[in-house]
């Protein structure tokens, strides 16, 4: 009888320990869901500041945000989450990795856009030089060979910059497609996580900002219409 009572006591103790472990896991997940939501709000609120970055400050600007998501995935608290909540933990860490990729892709998109604009301006400058030298070559009676050589050099430089523009533009459009796919992944994982919160007794849901992929007000995405027009002029 004593052995039976002892066995029952041990079983109840184990159940109690498991319940406490799950409770702690829920608290950790809710804490990091709130943290995730706060970080994504920071991403959106930084859009205006993002557009004012130079090449010298761009990496430092994005590192302020990517470092948070990197630290998020490496937090030791996640290791203490129980097996019951392991899948939800993995979903949060996967989200953080995707947001990390999203930010780096957005940075690459911005660089490509900047390179395309710069190359286009330089090609236009070389085109003006070419037309000037070509005109002087036609009107010059004693120095036409010099102007002919300068016109040829300007023509070559114009061609090089036009190629740079087209390559940067192509990469820019490619990065926009990657951004789209990353946002789809973010939305999909967030929805899957949120659909289980009630069953798992989690209080916090993941909030995906509606403006994360804003095709109307996001200057980086909206620039594709201008770049496309410039491409068609080439």
Average pLDDT of the chain to the nearest whole number? 87
Phi-psi region of 232 (alpha: psi -120 to 50; beta: other; left: phi over 0): alpha
Higher-pLDDT residue of 41 and 9 is 41
Q: What is the mean pLDDT of residues 136-158?
A: 88
pLDDT(215) > 80: no
Please report which confidence band the pLDDT of residue 68 belongs to, taking 50, 70 and 90 as the band edges.
Answer: very high
In this prediction, residues 214-225 reach a mean pLDDT of 83
The pLDDT of residue 93 is 93
Task: Tell me the two tokens of residue 64.
Answer: 């302020």
CA 156 centroid distance within chain? 36
Which DSSP state fits 77?
A: G
């Amino acid at each position: 009888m004593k052995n039976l009572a002892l066995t029952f006591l041990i079983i109840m103790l184990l159940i109690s320990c498991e319940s406490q472990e799950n409770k702690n896991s829920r608290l950790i997940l809710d804490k990091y869901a709130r943290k995730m939501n706060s970080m994504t709000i920071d991403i959106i609120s930084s859009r205006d500041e993002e557009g004012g970055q130079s090449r010298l400050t761009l990496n430092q600007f994005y590192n302020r945000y990517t470092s948070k998501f990197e630290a998020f995935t490496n937090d030791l608290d996640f290791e203490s989450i129980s097996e019951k909540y392991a899948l939800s933990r993995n979903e949060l860490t996967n989200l953080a990795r995707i947001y990390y990729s999203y930010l780096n892709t957005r940075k690459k998109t911005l660089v490509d856009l900047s390179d395309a604009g710069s190359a286009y301006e330089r090609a236009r400058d070389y085109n003006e030089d070419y037309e000037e030298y070509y005109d002087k070559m036609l009107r010059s009676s004693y120095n036409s060979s010099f102007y002919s050589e300068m016109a040829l050099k300007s023509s070559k430089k114009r061609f090089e910059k036009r190629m740079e523009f087209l390559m940067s533009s192509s990469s820019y459009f490619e990065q926009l497609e990657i951004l789209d796919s990353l946002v789809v992944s973010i939305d999909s994982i967030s929805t899957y996580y949120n659909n289980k919160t009630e069953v798992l007794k989690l209080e916090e849901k993941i909030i995906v900002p509606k403006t994360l992929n804003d095709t109307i007000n996001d200057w980086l995405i909206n620039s594709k219409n201008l770049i496309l027009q410039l491409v068609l002029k080439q």
